[in-house]
């Protein structure tokens, strides 16, 4: 049997094998993410080692091992919440084991190789249980009756203090960058309300605008959104549609919207953690294009545009290394740079100055 046939036979068998029950000897406990990563790495080592005794397996299994290496790198970069990537790891390991059954084996077959293949089969059983837990978690999230996380501020929304005479009220509305901003420290004695939720995209923010923003009757809402949409590959037109709808709601409720630019990101800290390489998921060109749309949108609708990007980016267009420890979320230095920009934009929105008429010369 030729090598191409080995691989083709194994891969064609995956569709049927995926529906088979798990092995009888299932592990007692589901792996956590760290254990899964260690076991994936161990499996790759075993796959490479098994090829020494079976040269045919080394040649036939090489594409499968490379697929697993690349998928493991993707998991390290994107995080371990991707059921699709876990399935790819399992599919390639299962195919490798099928190929190992098909290729000729030396006689006598080395005991060490037998143990390696047996261990790989044990790992496969553990991975299948782990994958099933990932699928179940995904299903639970899809069935979540509170997809937009209204519960996060439900109680806090009922206990907002009354407005003080002469003091402006501002809602900061956004994702984790807003969520992590301790407004009382950076804006003491101000009636600023934080309604950021980590991980949210513009569609979720649109859904909770009424209870988390409009209900407080603020003078203005400072909107910082879009970076998570970009990271998820959301179409720019969808992001723009969501932000336009948020603006329409603000207008309807007589709340002045302030649209902030999406912050720059950087890869400066990837040496600390490979996942801190932020530009692949949030390409600077895409951020710049969305910011250009935001600026134009604000001009057309006569809104205040808050340009965080220019104030936080270095000459290379990336977030200054000193302003974030992970290339994405501002640290105290980053928030200190943002605070005066935010205050200036709020003042401009709430207390606009009349335009000076040009003096006509005759």
User: For each of the chain's 362 residues, which pLDDT tens digit applies?
Assistant: 444 444 444 443 433 333 333 333 344 467 888 888 889 999 999 999 988 888 899 999 999 999 999 988 888 777 777 778 888 999 999 999 999 999 988 889 899 989 999 999 999 998 888 888 877 777 766 667 788 999 999 999 999 988 888 899 999 999 999 999 999 999 999 999 999 999 999 999 999 999 999 999 999 999 999 999 999 889 999 999 999 999 999 999 999 999 999 999 999 999 988 889 999 999 999 999 999 999 999 999 999 999 999 999 999 999 999 999 999 999 999 999 999 999 999 999 999 887 665 555 44
Residue 342: how many other CB atoms lie within 10 Å: 23
For 258, the enclosing helix (H) or strand (E) is strand 256-260
pLDDT (0 to 100) of residue 342: 98
Residue 33 is predicted with a pLDDT of 81
Q: What is the pLDDT of residue 359?
A: 55
Tokens at 320, concatenated: 């200054």
What pLDDT shows up at residue 360? 54
Label residue 47 exposed, middle or buried (CB < 10 Å: 0-12, 13-18, 19+): buried
What phi and psi, each to the nearest 5 degrees, are found at residue 110?
-60, 135
Structure confidence at residue 5 (pLDDT): 46
Domain 160-350 has CATH 3.40.50.1110: yes
The predicted structure's pLDDT at residue 274? 83
What span, in angstroms and rounded, lies between the C-alpha atoms of 320 and 312?
Answer: 6
Domain chopping of the chain, boundaries: 3-142, 160-350
Length of the chain: 362
188: CB partners within 8 A, 6+ apart: none
Task: Give the integer Cα–Cα distance in Å for 326 and 85.
Answer: 24
Contact by Cβ (8 Å): 330, 177: yes
- Give me the torsion for CA of 31, 32, 36, 39, rounded to 10°: -60
Count of H helices and E strands in the chain?
A: 15, 5
Distances from the Cα of 244 to the Cα of 110, 212, 214, 216, 223, angstroms: 67, 18, 16, 21, 12
Ordered DSSP codes for 153-169:
HHHHHTTPPPPPTT--E
Strand partners, 169: 191
Q: Is the peptide bond before 108 cis (omega within 30 degrees of 0)?
A: yes
Instruction: Write out the two tokens for 109.
Output: 């077959």
């Amino acid at each position: 049997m030729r090598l191409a046939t080995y691989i083709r036979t194994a891969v064609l068998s995956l569709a049927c094998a995926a529906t088979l029950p798990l092995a009888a000897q299932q592990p007692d406990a589901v792996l956590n993410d760290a254990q899964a990563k260690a076991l994936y790495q161990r499996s790759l080592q075993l796959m490479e080692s098994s090829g020494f005794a079976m040269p045919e397996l080394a040649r036939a299994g090489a594409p499968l091992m490379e697929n697993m290496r690349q998928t493991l790198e993707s998991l390290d970069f994107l995080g371990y919440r991707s059921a699709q990537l876990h399935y790819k790891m399992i599919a390639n390991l299962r195919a490798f084991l099928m190929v190992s059954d098909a290729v000729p084996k030396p006689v006598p077959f080395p005991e060490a190789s037998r143990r390696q293949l047996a261990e790989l089969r044990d790992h496969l059983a553990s991975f299948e249980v782990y994958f099933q837990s990932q699928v179940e978690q995904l299903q639970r999230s899809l069935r979540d009756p509170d997809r937009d996380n209204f519960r996060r501020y439900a109680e806090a929304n009922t206990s907002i203090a009354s407005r003080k005479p002469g003091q402006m009220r501002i809602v900061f509305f956004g994702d984790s960058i807003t969520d992590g901003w301790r407004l009382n420290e950076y804006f003491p004695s101000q009636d600023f309300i934080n309604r950021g939720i980590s991980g949210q995209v513009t569609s979720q923010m649109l859904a909770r605008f009424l209870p988390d923003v409009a209900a407080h009757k603020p003078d203005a809402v400072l909107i910082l959104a879009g970076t998570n949409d970009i990271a998820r590959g959301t179409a720019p037109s969808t992001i723009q549609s969501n932000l336009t709808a948020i603006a329409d709601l603000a207008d309807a409720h007589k709340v002045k919207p302030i649209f902030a630019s999406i912050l720059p990101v950087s890869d400066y800290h990837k040496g600390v953690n490979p996942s801190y390489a932020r530009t692949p998921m949030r390409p600077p060109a895409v951020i710049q294009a969305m910011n250009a749309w935001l600026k134009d949108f604000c001009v057309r609708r006569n809104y205040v545009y808050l340009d965080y990007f220019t104030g936080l980016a270095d000459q290379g267009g990336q977030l200054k290394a000193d302003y974030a420890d992970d290339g994405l979320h501002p640290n105290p230095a980053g928030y200190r740079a943002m605070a005066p920009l935010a205050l200036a934009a709020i003042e401009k929105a709430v207390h606009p100055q009349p335009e000076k008429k040009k003096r006509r010369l005759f």
